Each structure stands twice: as structure tokens, then as C-alpha cells.
Amino acid sequence: MRHQPHLFIPRPWSAEVLQTGSDHRRHLDRVLRYPEGGAISYTDGAGTFGNGIWNGVSVERGDESAVDGIAVDLTMAVAPPRSKERQRFVVEKLQELGVSRLVWIITERGQTRAPRSDRSTAWAISALEQSRGAWLMDVTDSRFSDLPNPVVADMAGAPISSIWSELDGATIAVGPEGGFSDSEVTMFSRTVGLGSGVLRTETAAVAAAAAVLLGRS
């Protein structure tokens, strides 16, 4: 059975036909060799999911519906891991899980710059298309000190399952490999636990998001 492609096509949309970018056309034509007349799904990344027809250069619109977002509005604030591969892993997995926002945080002990905004967004779009999602995660960056009342993932914190009701709308922060500074520790609103082991930044970020989002489903 042929895989049905799923495309992110940002608005504004035309009345009947949705124009696609050159990357989409190249991938469908040269990589997938997808035929004209083939079924294709699409999204605006803001909750609309559609099923249309590929005509070789664009998508002919079909049935469309609104997709509810995940019940928990979760922001993950993460110190950038050292390698681009690990940064991409964070973006892709948080997008697949349905995190609302990813904030790359600048901390006192962090030694890695956040990836460029366009690169993070491209990674998120790729994961959105692969997972056939309808909501595109927002990706920004901020100083840790500017976050509003962050809940920090830490070995010593309370189990996430014990405070689920308090995490809707929360920002969960995961620090750099060197940890948070003493002055940053005073900014925590509380901590949540991820077990007794020491986790890499990207592992802790995905584990915390999964515990909140999948644990509530």
C-alpha cells in the first residue's frame, strides 16, 4: 500500500487549490514518484486537517475538519544540547508528542547557542508531516530569568503524576548539562521528578513532556 503524503501548507489558502513549495514538489515527484490524482492530506498547522488530491503541482482541496488540540497546554523550556543532532531530536520528539511551545533557554551555565529559528521551525514542520499532525509547535528562545514561574524537571522533585492538575498551562524547564546556577534555582516555582538517574538534556525534555501529555490521555 502506497504511503499517503501529509503536507504542511501555511495560510492564506485559495478557494479551490493550494500551492505547494518547490521542496514539496521535488520530494513528491523525484523521491516518492507520487502520481497525479493521488490522495494527499494537508494541514495549516493551526488545527485544520484536510484530504485532497495531488495534481502534480498543487493540492486540490477536499474535505476539511477542525482538529482539537491536546487537552494540556504545555510549554517546554530547554537549554540547547551541544550537537545539532541532539537539538533536532528535541524539536522532533516534542512536536510529535504535541507540545504547544518549545522555548530554547539561555542560562548562566549553558555553553551552546540555540539553533536558528528557521532551522528549528523546519525540524518541527518535518516532524508534523511525518506524524500527520494538525498543530505546529511554536519555537522561540528566551533567557531563563524571563520565564514566568517555571516548573523545573529535577531528580529531587515530586512525581509528575502527583501534580498533573497543576501542569495545564505550565512551563517545564530542563537545564543545561552543568545544571542551573544558584541564582537561577531561586527562580523555580517548584520541581518535578524524573526518577533517580541522571538524564541527558534531550532525554529529560522528552521524558517530562511524555509524562505530562501521555499520562493524561
Domain boundaries, given as residue ranges, for the chain: 6-66, 75-213
SS (H, E, C) the chain: CCCCCEEECCCCCCCCEEECCHHHHHHHHHHCCCCCCCEEEEECCECEEEEEEECCCEEECCCEEECCCCCCCCEEEECCCCCHHHHHHHHHHHHHHCCCEEEEEECCCCCCCCCCHHHHHHHHHHHHHHCCCCECCEEEEEEHHHCCCCEEEEEEEEEHHHHHHHCCCCEEEECCCCCCCHHHHCCCCEEEECCCCCCCHHHHHHHHHHHHHCCCC
Class (C level, CATH) for 75-213: alpha beta
Peptide bond into 12 cis (omega under 30): yes
Q: How many CA atoms lie within 13 A of 85 on its CB side?
A: 0
d(CA 153, CA 79): 12
Q: Which CATH architecture has domain 6-66?
A: Beta Barrel (2.40)
For 105: left if phi > 0, alpha if psi spans -120 to 50, otherwise beta; the answer is beta
d(CA 15, CA 66): 17
How many CB atoms lie under 10 A from the CB of residue 180?
A: 24
| Percent of the chain clearing pLDDT 70 (strictly above) | 97
Residue 174 in this model has a pLDDT that exceeds 60: yes
Q: Using one digit for the tens of pLDDT, what is the confidence trace for 51-79?
A: 999 999 999 999 999 999 877 899 999 99
Q: Using one digit for the tens of pLDDT, what is the confidence trace for 86-110?
A: 999 999 999 999 999 999 999 999 8
Reference 199, options 163, 164, 155; nearest CA is: 155
Q: Which amino acid is at 195?
A: G
Span 108-127, average pLDDT: 94
Q: Does the predicted TM-score (pTM) go above 0.85?
A: yes
Banded model confidence at residue 1, pLDDT cuts 50, 70, 90:
low
